[in-house]
Structure 1
Amino acid sequence: MLINGGFKIEYGRDIIRNLFNTFQDSLVITLQEIWDALETSFSEKPDQILFVETLEIDELEKLSEENRNFSTLFGLGGGRAADVAKFLHWKNGATLFQIPTIVSVDAFFTHEIAVRDNGVVKYIGDAIPELIYVDYDIIQKAPVELNRSGLGDILSCHTGLFDWQLADRSGEKPEWNEQLAIRTREVLNDVTANAAEIQKVSETGIQMMMEALNWIGDQCYVQKHPRFEEGSEHHFVYNLEYVTGKHFVHGQAVCLGCFIMSMLQENEPEKVLKTVRETGVDIKPESLGVSWDEIRDTFLSLNDFVIKEKLPYTILYEKDITENFLKKIKMALAKPY
C-alpha cells in the first residue's frame, strides 16, 4: 500500500476481546447504543464506562474533573467518542487507546480535538494515542452507510486543495506547497481507485480508508495546518450543525459539502459525484435527516457565517451563494441516485 504515516494501527479480527483484562483503572468513553451493541465482544468489562452526549467545551471540562483518577482511556465509537477520549487524555494525561467502530471521520487520527463552543466547532489541544485497534469484525457490524462515509474526510482534499490554492493566490497563509498537493492527490486517487472495496466495506476498503485518514491526520500535524484537506466543504457542515442544532454522520455531510462546493468552485463536480455514487454514500438531504429548507437556510447564511467565525479563506469569500445556485443544487440532488 502506498499510503503510510501517522499513528500506530493494529489490524485484525477479534483483537479487542481481552483488551480490558490487561489494564487497571480503565475508562471506556462511548455511546450507550454502541456499548449495548458491542458489550459481548469483550470478555470482561472495563472499570468504568462513560456515556457521552455532547462535545460542548463547558461539559467536557466538567467531565475531565470528574474522571481524573483513571490511568487508561479507551475511545470506543465514532468521532464523538474519539474526541471526548482525546480531550480527557489531553487534560488528565491518561494513556489513550482508540477503538473505532465505524470509518466515518478522521478524529481518531488527528492531534487536535474538535469541540463545540455554543454549537460552533473549535479545534484545541494535542492528543496522541498509544495504539488504534482496527477490528474488522467490529467495524463490519456497523451499518454499511456509516462506514462508507469515511470517504468524506478524504474526498474533502479535492475541494480543500482548490480553496487553499485560491487563498494562496490572494496572499493568505500558509503558502501553497506543490509537493504536498501532489502527494495529497496521489492519496485521493489511491482511495477512489478502490471505490468498489469501500462500497463493500471489505478489509481492503477499510484499511485503505484508515491508512488515508491516518496520513491526512499526520500531515495536518506535520504541516501545522489542514488547508490541503479542509475548506469550504467543512465550513458548510459547521454551519449546517449551527443552523439545525443537529448532529450528523460527519463524513456523509462532508461528502454533500464536497459535491456542492465543487459546483461553486467549478471544480469537476461530476468527478466528485461519480466517486460518491461508486462508494455508495447517500448525500441526499433526507438521508442526513434534514429538509431542503434547512439546506437552503444553511447556504444562504454560509457567506456571512465564514466571515463571522473568521474561518480560513475559501471560495466562499469570492462567490456568493444565490437562489439560482441553490436551484442548480436542488436539481442535481433530485436526479436518480
Structure 2
Amino acid sequence: MNISRRIAVPGLVRIKKNALSRLGIYLTRGEHTQVAMVVSAGLPETIRATVNTGLAQEGVATVQWFEIDKNDFETVAEFFAHMPNTLHAVVGLGGGKALDMAKYLAFLAQKPYYAVPTSLSNDGFCSPMASLTIQGRRRSLAAALPHGVVIDVDVCLNAPRILWLSGVGDLVSKFSAVFDWKLAFHHKGELVEDLAALLSDASVYQFLANPAFTPQGLTQLGTALMLNGIAMEICGSSRPASGSEHLISHALDEISTRPRLHGLQVGMATYITCRLQGQQADTIDQVFQSTGFWDAVRTDPFSREEWLAAVALAPSIKENFFTVLSTRQCLSEVHAILEEPVLDGCFV
C-alpha cells in the first residue's frame, strides 16, 4: 500500500568542528535575524561567549534569552505568552531540557526551530516530540522537527563521556524498537512503514561501523540519532525509535529513587529486551564492551529490585502499545538475565 504524507525535515544540517561559532551565519542564511535563545542553565561560559560573538558578528539579535533548569509545560506556556511578534526563530542550546522547551515553544509560536545540542545523550534533539512535565508528570507532546540542526563536534567531545555513552544506549535501542513494531504487526495488524523501519535500523549499523569517541565517531552518532528523529516523522509515531526498552525506562522514571540518564537506562533495557526477543543481544554486548558502556554502569550499578519492578510495570505504561512484554509474563526470564555473567556488577 502506498502512503502519501507531507513531512518537514531539517533543511540545514551541520555536524562539524567549529559549527557553534558559525551559528550566526546559518541563521542569517535563513533570514532569521531576530531570535529567542532557550539555553541550559549552567552552560559553560566559553560556549555562551562563542555563540554570542558569532551572533553579533552576523547582526543576529537575541530578542529573548531563557535559562532552563526544568522542562515543564507551565513554564513554556509562560514564555509563549511573552513572545514578541517580531521573532523570526527559536534556538535551543544545551541539553535535553532546554531543547525540548525550545522545540515546543517554536511549535506553539509556529516559528522555525534550530537545535544546537552540546552533547549527544539521546535522539531528542531531532524528534517530532517534546518531553515535558505537566503538573509533575512527564508527557510526550507533539512538536515538529528542527528547521536546522547544528552540532559542534569539538563541543560534544568536551562534554562528559557518560553523555556520549547515553547516546550510544539510546541509539542501539532501535534494534529492540523495530523488532517490537514488527511484532505488533504480526500479533495485532499494526501497520509498519518499511522506510521508517529501515532508516532506523540503518542508522544503528552506520554507527556500529565506527563506535568511537572521536570526531568521526561523534559525527556518525549525531547523524544516526538525527535520522531516528526523521524516521519518527516519516511514520508519525515513535515506533521506529521506542519499544519495550523505553517502556521499562519510563517505568523506572516513575518508581526509581534515583533515575539515571535516559540513554543509560534505555541501553541496559535494550540488552534485556533483545534477549527476550532472541535477537541482536550479542551485537549490543560487543558495542557496549568496546565503548565502555558496561564499565560505566558498573561504576554506579542499578538496583535489581527497581528494575524487576519496572519490568512488571512497563506493559501498562502505554495503552495499546504491543511489544515483546505483551507476549508473555517475562519477569522470571528477566530475573535470570540479570544474573548472567555479562551483567556482572551492573546490578546490586
Q: What range describes the TM-score normalised by the shorter chain of this pair?
A: 0.7 to 0.9
Q: Which amino acid aligns with 1:206?
A: L
8 Å contact from structure 2 (residues 170, 264) kept in 1 = no
Map of 2:126 onto structure 1: 109
Distance 2:229 2:22 in 1: 28
State the identity as a percent: 19
The correspondence for 1:50, drawn from 43, 66, 89, is 66
Amino acid at match of 1:82: L
Matches within 5 A, 1:245-260: 248-260=260-272
Change (3 A) 1:38 1:110: same
**What residue identity is the alignment partner of 2:338?**
I
Q: Is the 8 A contact 1:256 1:283 kept in 2?
A: no
Asked if 1:278 corresponds to 2:290, the answer is: yes
- Per-residue deviation, 1:255: 0.7
Q: Kindly indicate whether residue 321 of structure 2 is the aligned counterpart of residue 315 of structure 1.
A: no
1:144 to 141, 161, 167: 161
Contact kept? 2:15, 2:222, Cα under 8 Å: no
The count of residues paired between Structure 1 and Structure 2 equals: 325
Matched, 1:38 2:47: yes
Q: CA RMSD in A?
A: 3.0
Q: Does 1:27 align with 2:31?
A: no
Of residues 195, 213, 221 in structure 1, which corresponds to 2:225? 213
One-letter amino acid of the counterpart of residue 178, structure 2: L
User: How many angstroms does 1:180 deviate by?
Assistant: 4.9
User: Structure 1 pair 244/311, CA: closer, same or farther in 2 (3 Å)?
Assistant: farther
1:283-302 superposed Cα distances (whole Å, 9 cap, x missing partner)? 87665675333323322322
Secondary structure, aligned partner of 1:33: coil
Structure 1 position 272, deviation (Å): 1.6
SS in 2 for 1:312: coil
Relative to structure 1, the CA distance from residue 57 to residue 290 in structure 2 (aligned partners, 3 Å threshold; closer, same or farther) is: farther
Among 11, 19, 23, the alignment partner of 2:15 is 11
1:1-337 matched pairs, under 5 angstroms: 6-7=9-10, 8-17=12-21, 19=23, 25-36=34-45, 38-44=47-53, 46-68=62-84, 70-118=87-135, 120-173=137-190, 175-178=191-194, 180-195=196-211, 197=212, 200=213, 202-244=214-256, 248-282=260-294, 290-303=302-315, 305-306=316-317, 309-310=318-319, 312-323=321-332, 325-332=334-341, 334-335=343-344
Q: What secondary structure does 1:222 align onto?
A: helix
Does the Cα contact within 8 Å between 1:29 and 1:49 map onto a contact in 2? yes
| 1:99–1:134 CA contact under 8 A, matched in 2 | yes
Whole-angstrom distance in 2 between the partners of 1:283 and 1:296: 21
TM-score with structure 2 setting the length: 0.81
Unpaired segments ≥5 residues, structure 1: none
Report the Cα distance in structure 1 between the residues aligned to 2:299 and 2:82, rounded to whole angstroms.
Answer: 37
Distance 2:324 2:135 in 1: 26
* Structure 1 residues 178 and 26: alpha-carbon distance in aligned structure 2, compared to 1, 3 A threshold: closer
